[in-house]
Amino acid sequence: MTARRVRVALGARAYDVRVGAGALAGLPAWLRGGSRRAFVVSDEALVAARGKVRRALTQAGWRVDELPVCAGERLKDMGSVYPLYGRLLELGADRHSVLFALGGGTVGDAAGFVASTYMRGIRWVSLPTTLLAQLDSGVGGKTGINHEVGKNLIGSFHQPSLVVCDTDLLATLDDRDVVSGLGEAIKIGLVYDPRFCAYLVRHLAGFLARDARVLNRAIVASVAWKARAVARDEHDRSGEREALNFGHTFGHALEAETRYRGHRHGEAVIWGMRFALALSQVRGVLASREGARLDELLASLPVPPLPRSGSKLLSHVKRDKKARDGRVRFVLLKRPGRVLLDDGVTAGDLEAAWTLLQERTDG
């Protein structure tokens, strides 16, 4: 087993991300020092992966307790995470215990949040199992749960001490979760790296067919960009990390509007990016030919349709957590690799972008 290493350079809180086929087997070797008491919060559907983690840790002398959970947005809820604190107390987890989050982005976000608040914060290790989580959400220490008003409104920054992306796990993913991961990968390309974006476009078919080389390369490139943004702007203050919200204002609104049942997160982000491209054109920062070209690329991906009525979606957008002084801050695209943050978007701009997006989907 060879695993690529990407470092998240955060001084005293720096950590490694390991990416490779069979990487879970290396887990104990990368976890030196500290307590060997493990609590594995895992997606209950991932029986085989849970076995791999348990065996790897117990063989290295760890004592392991498992806390299976039901994945999905319903897990990112106060009512669902609250019992986890009780289980940890019952099982004797203390301040030195290590929590492992084995699952997709929902398990990572929720378990990371529990780790960040249990006894004022304990160590945690991120073991992402979906493509989306391996190339995006598993890295960077944003943890949290949803509120009925909107997504990710309750949370914290709490960096893991290690991330292990075992690409063997991706074989069992649903096709829709592959598209969903592709959505976040394209986002990273559009925001930071036109060459990576072009690579994804060239290898779209290979990506969707889960060609191991393409997926591996996409994960390593995405993680490297994310690691860089996190190292420079850990707490989302300078705008560098905020750029990763490209497509997310509308995407989150779509997820909330369809009660997290209509679209996978990355699918909603694909729609969100199409909306953000339209808005970038409306705001005059993106040339219309380039906007149309990029929209065509996103439109070629198999994603469930939008609800017909835009009015509720747009009111969700306006309520988004990025709203400041009644205005919503948007990440707009100038061209691949160049984004800007725009505080000046008006209700009229949103309507115009919606109209343009509808023309594109009808045409």
Ligand X SMILES: NC(=O)c1ccc[n+]([C@@H]2O[C@H](COP(=O)([O-])OP(=O)(O)OC[C@H]3O[C@@H](n4cnc5c(N)ncnc54)[C@H](O)[C@@H]3O)[C@@H](O)[C@H]2O)c1
Closer residue to ligand X (CB): 129 or 280: 129
The DSSP line for 108-156 is HHHHHHHHHHGGG--EEEEEE-SHHIIIIITSS-EEEEEETTEEEEEEE
Cβ-contact 75, 81 below 8 angstroms = yes
Using the minimum distance from each CB to ligand X, give the nearer residue, 270 or 286.
270
113 touches 82 (CB < 8 A) = no
- Contact call for residue 142 and ligand X (CB under 6 A): yes
**Distances in Å between the alpha carbon of 139 and those of 154, 224, 257, 267, 291?**
18, 10, 27, 20, 30
Is residue 106 close enough to count as binding ligand X by CB under 6 A?
yes
In whole angstroms, how close is the CB of 259 to ligand X at the nearest point? 13
Token code pair at residue 76: 């990112």
| Least CB distance to ligand X at residue 71 (A) | 4
CA distances from 97 to 28, 38, 63, 118, 121 (A): 15, 6, 10, 10, 10
Residues in 52-71 at the binding interface with ligand X, rule: CB under 6 A: 71
Q: Which is nearer to ligand X, 75 or 345 (CB)?
A: 75
For residue 61, the minimal CB distance to ligand X (Å) is 27
173 binds ligand X (CB under 6 A): yes
Place of tokens 């203050």: 237
When binding is defined by CB under 6 A, the residue of 41, 53, 88, 104 that contacts ligand X is 104
Among 130, 159, 216, 281, binds ligand X (CB under 6 A): 130
Q: x-or-dash pattern for ligand X, window 261-290, by CB under 6 A?
A: ---xx-------------------------
Nearer Cβ to ligand X, position 130 or 280?
130
Window 180-209: contact mask with ligand X (x via CB under 6 A):
x-----------------------------
Cβ atoms of 177 and 130 closer than 8 Å: yes
Q: Does 129 bind ligand X (CB under 6 A)?
A: yes
Closer to ligand X by Cβ: residue 97 or 245: 245
Tokens for 330, please give them: 């948007």
For 358, phi then psi, to 5°, come to -65, -40
In the numeric block, which tokens belong to residue 136?
Answer: 């995006």
CB of 265 to ligand X, least distance (A): 4
Which tokens hold the place of 82? 């609250």
d(CA 70, CA 110): 11
Q: Are 23 and 30 in contact (CB under 8 A)?
A: no
Give the nearest distance from C-beta 24 to ligand X in angstroms: 11
Q: At what angle do helices 265-282 and 288-299 cross, to 10 degrees?
A: 160
> 3-class SS at 183?
helix
Whose Cβ is closer to ligand X: residue 264's or residue 283's?
Answer: 264
320 binds ligand X (CB under 6 A): no
Candidates 84, 169, 350, 357: give the one binding ligand X (CB under 6 A): 169
CB closer to ligand X out of 175 and 296: 175
Which range in 106-114, 279-287, 298-306, 333-341 contacts ligand X by CB under 6 A? 106-114
Q: Identify the bridge partners of residue 7 per DSSP, sorted by sequence position.
A: 16
Stretch that binds ligand X, among 56-64, 171-179, 330-338, 344-352 (CB under 6 A): 171-179
Would you tell me which residues interact with ligand X (CB under 6 A)? 43, 45-46, 71-73, 76, 103-107, 109, 129-130, 132-133, 136-137, 140, 142, 152, 169, 172-173, 177, 180, 264-265
